[in-house]
A and B are shown apart, each in its own frame.
Chain A
Amino acid sequence: MPEAAIEMQGVAKFFGDFQALKDISFSVAPGERVVVCGPSGSGKSTLVRLVNQLEPHDAGTIRVGGRDVADPDLRGRIAMVFQQFNLFPHLSVLENLTLGPMKARGLERAAAEERAMALLARVRIPEQAAKRPSQLSGGQQQRVAIARALAMEPEIMLFDEPTSALDPEMISEVLDVMVELAEDGMTMVVVTHEMGFARRVADRIVFMDAGEIVEVAAPADFFANPRSARARDFLKRILSH
């Protein structure tokens, strides 16, 4: 059996007295696309933030590609796309993409820029390379953020509600890029409310509520006959309009 891309065993996370995650055990296979959904406050964002160590976990083990998640070699190997894009506003689009490869990986400027331009072409905004992020639309900014993540040649890509801050007409341009990534075989964990996307690309759907994984199912199963009452309730609310 091949090494799991992500393996979580009995993971718990507290914020003060509040338990955000309870006894999470879960694994993602290499190349697998997992969509995590659930009501707000269910712990889904916390889950992906633990995987790239933006928050330390309080109990259990998290292993990425067989290594403990705290292993410094993993730094920059797990890419993240944030809800608020978090582009570097003082740098150009191109510099946003070359900063990590040059400073963390020691790539030469020419090589880093070549890679960056190829990625900008891939997310279909090569003409914006010299601009500042603030001159771009939300959808374009999020595509830059995806390209910035890809520039690190990550093993895994995590998405934390990547379309939630976007105007409706810009959501599809970001989702299109994500679908292409999935088709290229990238290991992806995506926290999202975009159920159309989940249906189309997810191998599995993880439904969370109150810090627990309530249900894990293939999309067809999950949408057709959710097993838990909480999942039925959730789907009714987000699909009703």
Chain B
Amino acid sequence: MRAVAALSLCLLLAGCGANFGWYVVDPTTPGGLTNLRFMLGGFANTIVVSVTAAAISIILGLVVALPGLSSNRQARMVNRVYVEFIRAIPLLPMLFWVYYGLPIVLRSMGLSIPLDPFWAGVITLALSDSAFTAEVYRAGIQSIPRGQTEAARTVGLSYTQTMRYVVLPQAIRRVLPPLANQFIYILKMSAFISVIGLEELMRRANDLNSGEYRPLEIYSVLILEYLVLVLVISQGVRWLERRMGADERQ
């Protein structure tokens, strides 16, 4: 929070110079207030698209990670191919492919599912992130000593029960910090969805700028908006870690 304050202060002080036009986002003037409200209006879509994508990625990542830990070679291959392939696709090309290409693929399969920018964005972010989430899970699960699964087995637990009651509860504490990283990554990458027209933070900033042409001031505010979101997530995750005892050494 102190960082936000310091950065805001620097920008404002610098803004006292003649070449800056902070009036565009000055909340004390009616015009500035309207502009600010317009920009802040992007929060809803940025948050909802990111949270939805993260929720899908957290589940999809686990589904992809589990075959990677199997003793079966084919299962491990499925995991490797998925991770290597998805990880190799840059986000923007994937977004275009999903938004413009996927409906054509679906139509050829007899499904007419129109993809709006929101869902195209969710699918792209979730898919792209799931390859990384899968690797996070794999590392977390592999860090649980083998004795744990052996002990679970000797008290009669099946594979699913062992995962659910013994391995995952321990692994989740260890993967929480890297999963938080992934969530922050999703949040920042959601700015790309502006190019297919979703009215999120980035898009709102662009729209405002094309009318006002005050890029320095407008994009400074935009950066602050992302900074606030990321700091809120960081604090939230730290709280969650404390609650789950993930910050303790075992």
Per-position 1/0 for A101-125, Cβ under 8 A of B: 0011100000000000000000000
- Are A103 and B165 neighbours in the complex by a CB distance under 8 Å? yes
- Are A86 and B147 neighbours in the complex by a CB distance under 8 Å? yes
- Specify which chain A residues have a CB less than 8 angstroms from the CB of B152 in the assembled complex: 88
Complex interface: stretch among A27-35, A71-79, A170-178: A71-79
Please give the distance in Å from B82's CB to the nearest CB on chain A: 29
Q: A89-B170, A104-B161 are in contact. Are A152 and B156 (CB under 8 A)?
A: yes
C-alpha gap A79/B153 in the complex (Å):
10
* A129 touches B (CB below 8 Å): no
Please give the distance in Å from B191's CB to the nearest CB on chain A: 38
C-alpha gap A129/B250 in the complex (Å):
19
C-alpha gap A89/B161 in the complex (Å):
16
- Are A99 and B148 neighbours in the complex by a CB distance under 8 Å? no
C-alpha gap A78/B151 in the complex (Å):
11
Chain A residues 30 to 50 lying within 8 A of chain B, measured CB to CB, are: none
Please give the distance in Å from A42's CB to the nearest CB on chain B: 21
Q: A88-B166, A89-B250 are in contact. Are A99 and B147 (CB under 8 A)?
A: no
- Are B250 and A52 neighbours in the complex by a CB distance under 8 Å? no
C-alpha gap A189/B147 in the complex (Å):
19
Taking a contact as CB atoms closer than 8 A, the residue among A78, A84, A88 that contacts B154 in the complex is: A78
Residue of B nearest to A72 (CB): B158
* B157 touches A (CB below 8 Å): yes
* A87 touches B (CB below 8 Å): yes
Number of interface residues of B (CB under 8 A): 19
- Specify which chain A residues have a CB less than 8 angstroms from the CB of B114 in the assembled complex: none
Please give the distance in Å from B149's CB to the nearest CB on chain A: 9
- Are A54 and B165 neighbours in the complex by a CB distance under 8 Å? no
Q: Is the interface of B mostly helix, strand, loop or mixed?
A: helix
* B207 touches A (CB below 8 Å): no
Q: Is the interface of A mostly helix, strand, loop or mixed?
A: loop
Among B153, B156, B165, B173, the one with the most A-chain Cβ atoms within 10 Å of its Cβ is B156
* A82 touches B (CB below 8 Å): yes
* B109 touches A (CB below 8 Å): no
- Are B155 and A152 neighbours in the complex by a CB distance under 8 Å? yes
- Are A79 and B154 neighbours in the complex by a CB distance under 8 Å? yes
- Specify which chain B residues have a CB less than 8 angstroms from the CB of A89 in the assembled complex: 170, 250
- Specify which chain A residues have a CB less than 8 angstroms from the CB of B154 in the assembled complex: 52, 54, 76, 78-80, 149, 152
- Specify which chain A residues have a CB less than 8 angstroms from the CB of B169 in the assembled complex: 90
- Are B156 and A104 neighbours in the complex by a CB distance under 8 Å? yes
- Specify which chain A residues have a CB less than 8 angstroms from the CB of B165 in the assembled complex: 99, 103
- Are A148 and B170 neighbours in the complex by a CB distance under 8 Å? no
* B116 touches A (CB below 8 Å): no
C-alpha gap A84/B151 in the complex (Å):
10
- Specify which chain A residues have a CB less than 8 angstroms from the CB of B150 in the assembled complex: 54, 80, 82, 86
- Specify which chain B residues have a CB less than 8 angstroms from the CB of A99 in the assembled complex: 155, 157, 165-166
Please give the distance in Å from B78's CB to the nearest CB on chain A: 23
* A134 touches B (CB below 8 Å): yes
Chain B residues 150 to 198 lying within 8 A of chain A, measured CB to CB, are: 150-158, 161, 165-166, 169-170, 173
Taking a contact as CB atoms closer than 8 A, the residue among B156, B166, B250 that contacts A105 in the complex is: B156
- Are B155 and A82 neighbours in the complex by a CB distance under 8 Å? no
Please give the distance in Å from A119's CB to the nearest CB on chain B: 13
* A100 touches B (CB below 8 Å): yes
- Are A88 and B156 neighbours in the complex by a CB distance under 8 Å? no
**Contacts A/B (CB < 8 Å), 17 sampled:** A53-B153, A54-B153, A54-B154, A76-B154, A80-B151, A80-B154, A82-B150, A82-B151, A86-B150, A86-B151, A87-B151, A88-B170, A100-B156, A103-B157, A134-B250, A145-B151, A149-B155
10 closest A-B pairs by beta carbon, nearest first, are A76-B156, A100-B155, A104-B156, A86-B147, A86-B151, A80-B154, A75-B156, A90-B169, A100-B156, A103-B161
Give B contacts to A, CB under 8 Å.
145, 147-148, 150-158, 161, 165-166, 169-170, 173, 250
